[in-house]
Amino acid sequence: MALFKCRECGTEISNKSKACVKCGAPVKKTSKPAELVAGIVVVGLMLWVASSLMSSGKGDAPKAAESPTPVAAEKCNADDLQCLGDKGVVAAGVYCQDDIERLAKHSVKWTDGTFETKFSRFRWSNKKDGIITYVGDKAEFQNGFGAYTPVIYECDLGQDNKTVLDVRVREGRLSK
């Protein structure tokens, strides 16, 4: 409930009152539609100014130096574990997360940061087929008593970095 002053006597009254309690003067309600129209006009004016400022440079011809050049993706050799692992570590965090969580009997708490990868290590699972095992320890599984236990998880990812082939979990932490 908002309070405002009466226009006649200056007494504070509720905005829900129909008349002033002291002098009996009727309360004039402020016009909501007028405020809405004024707000729309102001926003429209701001949008018009912004669009005119942005479109002022459209008449200029684009220069050759400003045109974006496509960056070629770095190709990795089939036997270069470091290159392939670095390229697939983010994909492993995306595609393996659900499968790792399904192995928990209760809930899972991820301890990695927002911009931190879920897997800190990788190794060959099958070098001939290009299968890499990604290893991490940034999760905790809840046990039957409600306590969280740190786990080491492994995920085998196919050569396309999208196909999850196998997931394993065991208790513990990776050595530094």
Domains and CATH numbers, the chain: 81-171 (3.10.450)
Query: Would you place residue 1 in the very low, low, confident or very high pLDDT band (cuts 50, 70, 90)?
Result: low
Handedness of CA 51, 52, 54, 55 (dihedral sign): positive
- More confidently predicted of 70 and 174: 174
Mean pLDDT of the chain, nearest integer:
84
Q: Region 149-169: what's the mean pLDDT?
A: 94
Asked if 154 and 118 count as a contact pair (C-beta separation under 8 A), the reply is: no
Return the pLDDT at 3. 78
3-state secondary structure of 153: strand
The answer, yes or no, to whether residue 71 has pLDDT greater than 50, is no
3-state secondary structure of 168: strand
Q: What predicted TM-score, i.e. pTM, was given to this entire model?
A: 0.58
Looking at residue 73, the DSSP 8-state letter turns out to be P
Return the pLDDT at 57. 56
Among the residue ranges 48-52, 54-58, 144-148, the one predicted with the least confidence is 54-58
- Alpha carbon distance 152, 53 (integer Å): 55
3-state secondary structure of 36: helix
